């Protein structure tokens, strides 16, 4: 059965997006590796640093899970590593005992500020060069 031309175009665009995402994540990993971080580690630090400053740089783990595109267990392991490295700290949510807060430490804030230009430079290079066909 022949694939319709429109479907083939959608599939090609989808694969281009996946390829761009994979390339970008690899480049971010390479840029941040000397600082002991990967792309997903940075994403958690970045969300805490930039999107919850009014909350004392903290966020519920449940809210992070929907933002970093990791399974709950993978995110838990990642937060555990960041906590072990002194970059974040976890605390129980007083209002909801099932909830857990994650907050940046001073060390986490400092490292985020140090590597932020590296991550943003990768994004600028990647998206500056990115040309998705069919746009």
Domains of the chain: 5-129 (1.10.10.10)
16-30, 46-60, 62-76: the lowest-pLDDT one: 46-60
* Confidence class for position 37, pLDDT limits 50, 70, 90: very high
Please report the DSSP string for 55-118 in residue order.
GTSEEEHHHHHHHHT--HHHHHHHHHHHHHTTSEEEEE-SS-TT-EEEEE-HHHHHHHHHHHHH
Q: What was the pLDDT predicted at 59? A: 83
38-66 burial code (b ≥16 CB/10 A, e <16): bbbbbbbbbbbbeebeeeebbbebeebee
5-9, 27-31, 54-58: the lowest-pLDDT one: 54-58
Give the model confidence (pLDDT) of 71-102 as tens digits.
889 999 999 999 999 999 998 877 666 678 89
Q: What was the pLDDT predicted at 51? A: 72
Tell me the whole-structure pTM to 2 decimals: 0.82
Q: What's the half-sphere exposure (Cβ side, CA atoms, 13 Å) at 76?
A: 6
Give the model confidence (pLDDT) of 92-130 as tens digits.
877 666 678 899 999 999 999 999 999 999 999 998 865
Q: What was the pLDDT predicted at 31? A: 97
Structure tokens at 58: 């903290």
Give kind and range of the element (H or E) at residue 37. none
Section 62-66 average pLDDT: 84
Q: Given a cut of 90, is residue 26 above it in pLDDT?
A: yes
């Amino acid at each position: 059965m022949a694939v319709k031309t429109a479907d083939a175009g959608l599939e090609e665009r989808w694969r281009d997006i996946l390829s761009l995402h994979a390339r970008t994540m690899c480049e971010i990993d390479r840029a941040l590796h000397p600082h002991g971080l990967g792309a997903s580690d940075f994403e958690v630090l970045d969300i805490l640093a930039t999107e919850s400053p009014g909350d004392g740089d903290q966020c519920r783990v449940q809210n992070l899970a929907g933002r970093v595109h990791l399974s709950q267990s993978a995110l838990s392991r990642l937060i555990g590593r960041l906590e072990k490295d002194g970059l974040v700290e976890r605390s129980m949510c007083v209002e909801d005992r099932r909830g857990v807060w994650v907050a940046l430490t001073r060390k986490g804030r400092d490292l985020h500020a140090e590597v932020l230009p590296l991550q943003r430079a990768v994004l600028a290079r990647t998206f500056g060069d990115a040309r998705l066909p069919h746009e």
